[in-house]
Amino acid sequence: RSVWIQFIPSCLVISIRSIILAVQLALRDFIRGDNIARKLNLEIGLRYLARTQVREVLEIFRSISDAYYWLVVVSKENVETIAKQIIEQGEICERNDDICFSNVELDLIARVFEVDKCLTEKTCKSRNLSQRKALEMIILEKIALGKILR
């Protein structure tokens, strides 16, 4: 059906921009033939976590249990319809857009993305940003450069 679905634990999502960037880069990788994973949903996971090993991504996602997940759907069809079907099938208990960033754990995100605390602090000071915003900037950069840095 040309539908790819990736669940990302909400405690690892620093911003919607990070998900959008990972999806855009994963799509670009597939279009150019530069993909690592055979499936787009796994390529999204690779891009999101700035990794080059599918095994690593699967281990990270399996190791984190969260009450809430971001449902990332990529399709030529209407994604709202697909999301409703997934909810109706009982795969997801509910849809709650208000929870999006309520349980973000900055320390966990920094650890998973391998971001040094000193780098976050320096970014905060040099750009006059909050810890969360500085971490978001660093993670966006890691997502964008993920394949190059590894």
Structure-token pair, residue 16: 């919607």
Amino acid 96: pLDDT: 62
Amino acid 98: pLDDT: 59
Q: For residue 50, which amino acid is it?
A: A
Looking at per-residue pLDDT, the higher value among 148 and 81 belongs to: 81
Residue 120 has pLDDT above 80, yes or no: yes
Q: For residue 79, which amino acid is it?
A: V
Alpha-carbon distance 55 to 143, whole Å? 17
Alpha-carbon distance 133 to 127, whole Å? 10
Alpha-carbon distance 42 to 46, whole Å? 6
Structure-token pair, residue 25: 């880069």
Alpha-carbon distance 87 to 53, whole Å? 30
Average the pLDDT over 128-148 and give the result.
Answer: 91
* Contact predicate 112/66, CB 8 Å: no
Band the pLDDT of 116: cuts 50, 70, 90: very high
Average the pLDDT over 1-8 and give the result.
Answer: 85
Per-residue pLDDT reduced to its tens digit, 38-73:
999 999 999 999 999 999 999 999 998 877 788 888
Per-residue pLDDT reduced to its tens digit, 81-104:
887 887 788 766 666 655 556 667
Alpha-carbon distance 83 to 72, whole Å? 9
Average the pLDDT over 115-133 and give the result.
Answer: 93
Q: Where are the alpha helices (DSSP H) in 8-53?
A: 16-32, 40-49
Q: What Å distances lie between residue 121 and 101, 116, 133, CA to CA?
A: 22, 9, 11
Per-residue pLDDT reduced to its tens digit, 6-42:
989 888 999 999 999 999 999 999 999 999 999 999 9
Rg from Cα positions in the chain:
16
Residue 83, judged by CB atoms within 10 A of its CB (0-12, 13-18, 19+), counts as: middle
